[in-house]
Structures are given as structure tokens and as C-alpha cells.
Structure 1
Amino acid sequence: MKKVLLTSTALATLLLAGGLSVSAAVVTPANQDIPVTVNFANEAEFTFNADMTASDIDVDSTLITGTQSGTLTNVGGTLENLTSTDQSVTVSVTSAQAGLEVSGGTIIEAAAIQKESGSAEPITFTINRTAALASTEDRVITVTAQNTDDIDSGETF
């Protein structure tokens, strides 16, 4: 019994005197750079608007001595740029048929990693009597999309 009493007394003395202490080692890790890699697809893709339309021309007396006009609507498209640089597409409208006159278009620009859509204001075309009488295969309006930087090279999407 005496032994238990001494042990209890010694323990109480240690607790009251602050004889117990707790410590832990705090280790701060060194700063470490963690590289992040972005893999660009290195390509831009252009898609024409699916609902580009040309108005029909109902022949009337003005075609006998002059021309008649129509309109092209929603000429343009969407440029999805997955590259690290800005991209630009020039959309142009032409016709090789003599007597079928049309010109116009739009430029669609997309910054790096951006998707941008655009359309030209309605474009007017005119057709004269000779072109109107040509076969339907000859009456063609061409819409071309080219990388703005490569217009001279003729590269198209």
C-alpha cells in the first residue's frame, strides 16, 4: 500500500510541477516547381454555316434590258482554334460565270484556344439575261474560306 501511495504522490507532483512536456518536430518542405504541360492540337478547324442560302430570282421584264438581283444570307461559319496563336479565316464569295456578279464576305478571327462564329451581312448578287439563260450547272456562286495568312497561296479549309 505504501508503494502505491508513493507512486500516486510522485505522479501528482510531476503533473503539478509541469514535469510533462510534449513536443513535435515541424518540418517545412522546400518549395518545389511542378511543371504543367499543355498539349496544343496545333490545328484550327473551320466549318461553314449549314444554313447558307441564296434567294431565288423570279424573272421579270427588268432582265430583258438589265439585271436582276438576289441575296445570299448567313455566309460565314465557325472557327475553332486549338492553337497557341491567333487564327483568322477570310470567307469570300465569287462567281466565274460571266453575267453573274457577286462579291463580299467576312473575316472570322479566333484568339488562341477560342471558338468564334461569324456571318457576313446579306450579300447581293446580280444576274444578267445571258447568265440567266445558261444551263443551271453554269450558274454557280462559290463561297471560299481561306486562312487569312495564306490567301495568296490559295490554301482553303
Structure 2
Amino acid sequence: MACVRHLLLLLSLLPMSMAWKPKSLFLFNKRTGEACSDHSECQSRCCVPNSPNPQAFCAAKTLFLQCVPRRKPNRDPCSDHAECRSSCCVTNSASSQTFCRPRGIFLQCTPWRRPDGARCGHHRECRSQCCIALSEVSCPRCVRRSGLLAQCLPL
């Protein structure tokens, strides 16, 4: 009987939400990097999904005590800007695969562009922003801008 009283006393000290939630009995037992399914499982009280898969992991809170999902470092494959620390997910070669990439000096997110002489289909594919066919029968290629006003002119 004394054992039951001690148990009831212990339960009365816990908040109601914790007393009836089975997961809550293991509060704060997981460290940063361990798999979790709820914020209450982590020491940091921060359980966030990992971007490439739906599995969630315990993570540290930010300086402003926010719980933000893990973001990928530069050079990791990505499919959306939100997945990257730099918020910049672009192609970095002729392939269609996209990667996290650092932002430029003016904080712009510029994709990889084809060098002069490479085949192209549109001006935006070229570093020079100039894609033209050098003759009537040739494939369009990236060429550097020329002329007094740096226009996209055939050579």
C-alpha cells in the first residue's frame, strides 16, 4: 500500500501531459545526432528531419533558440534551395544534377554556365550570355560578346 502511495505522489508531481504520455518518461535521453520522432526525446528538445530522407534526428538549437532542419554543406547534391546552408542549389556542370553552391561576392546564386565554344540552346546557358550559330548549317555555340557595345554578334 505504501508503494502505491509513493507512486501516486510521484505522478502528482509530474505535469498532466507528461504523466499520461509514455514517451515522456524518457525525457531528454537522446543526444545530438541520434534518431528521434518527437522533440521531447532530445536533450536539446529539438528533433528535426534530415533533408535527404524523412528520418528525424536530435539537433542543437540555434543562437536564437530555434529548431531548424539540417541543411547540406556546399558540394552536396540537392533538389531545392531550402536544402542548402547557402540557400543556393544549382547545376555546376553540363549535367542536369544540382548541387549546393556558395553564393557569389554580391550574394547572388548563379548557376554554372557553358564556356565559349561549347554547344548551347539558349543565351542563358553561356557564360558570355551569347549563343549563336556561326553559320547556317552549324549548331549554335557559346561565343564571347564582340563589337563596340559588347553585343552578341557572329564573328
Give TM-score, length-normalised by structure 2: 0.23
Larger radius of gyration: 1
| Larger relative contact order (CA 8 Å, sep ≥ 6) | 1
Greater share of strand: 1
